Amino acid sequence: MGAGASMSCSFDLEHYREILEAARAGGYRFARFGEGPEPGDLFLRHDIDLSLDAALAMAELEAELRVQATYLLMTESVFYNLASSEGVAAIGRLRELGHPVGLHAVYPNVVLDERFDPVVSWHNPKPEHMSDEIQGAVNVYGERYFSPATYRSDSNQHWRSGCPHEELRDGAFPWLQILVHPAIWVYPGATMGRTMRALVEAESARRLAQLADDDIDLT
């Protein structure tokens, strides 16, 4: 990585598209959990903690670029309700776009009903349990898929080892699992704090629209 190269790597959909294009230029293949890892496999994973809207915006962009990513959705989120009409519609659209959908689970609860492919990622995992085998499902933190040299994450709007676009373009990873949180890329903000405030503002508008839809008098 060139010095300063990561400085221009903004967390927005424009650069996200560049990262995906870099991966393609580097010869990577978008792979599903349950297969591989083979040389050149790229396991693109999205843990959906906060926003189904952000997940859908990212999913549409990926579909446009013919990129497949695995979306891991929560049934125990305080931020969204997967059983609501919005949640059902979101899963339907993700499936329609060709993306696998797995469970983003709160330890130790794994209930894989018919909505989910047998793929699990833990929400805020504790190191002592995170790699344990999960009966009947692929654990994305299992030894098969999870090791520091072949893993990158954008957690808290920060790439601990730098933005991976150059290494992807150069084919420098033998294979890679990459965790991208859509809300960080869809909502504007130069820091996690600012991005989260932008998300909260968007949520406020969304909530008012939902209240109006529910025949609540907002005058």
> Total residues at the site for Zn ion (CB under 5 A)?
6
Candidate list 11, 31, 49, 186; residue touching Zn ion; CB under 5 A: 49
Contact flag: residue 123 with Zn ion (CB under 5 A): yes
Per CB under 5 A, the segment of 59-67, 81-89, 135-143, 161-169 that binds Zn ion is 161-169
Candidate list 72, 94, 120, 163; residue touching Zn ion; CB under 5 A: 163
Minimum distance from CB of 15 to Zn ion (Å)? 6
Torsion of CA 187, 169, 101, 31, to 10 degrees: 180
Contact flag: residue 47 with Zn ion (CB under 5 A): yes
Residue 195's alpha-carbon distances to 4, 6, 34, 53, in angstroms, are 23, 19, 33, 15
Contact flag: residue 1 with Zn ion (CB under 5 A): no
Minimum distance from CB of 166 to Zn ion (Å)? 7
CA–CA separation, 43 and 202 (whole Å): 30
CA–CA separation, 112 and 24 (whole Å): 32
Per CB under 5 A, the segment of 44-52, 140-148, 192-200, 206-214 that binds Zn ion is 44-52
Instruction: Return the structure tokens found at 70.
Output: 């695995």
Minimum distance from CB of 55 to Zn ion (Å)? 12
Which spans in the chain are helix H?
Answer: 13-25, 52-64, 85-96, 127-130, 165-169, 182-186, 192-213
Minimum distance from CB of 47 to Zn ion (Å)? 4
Q: What length is written for the chain?
A: 219
Binding stretches for Zn ion (CB under 5 A): 9, 47, 49, 123, 163, 165
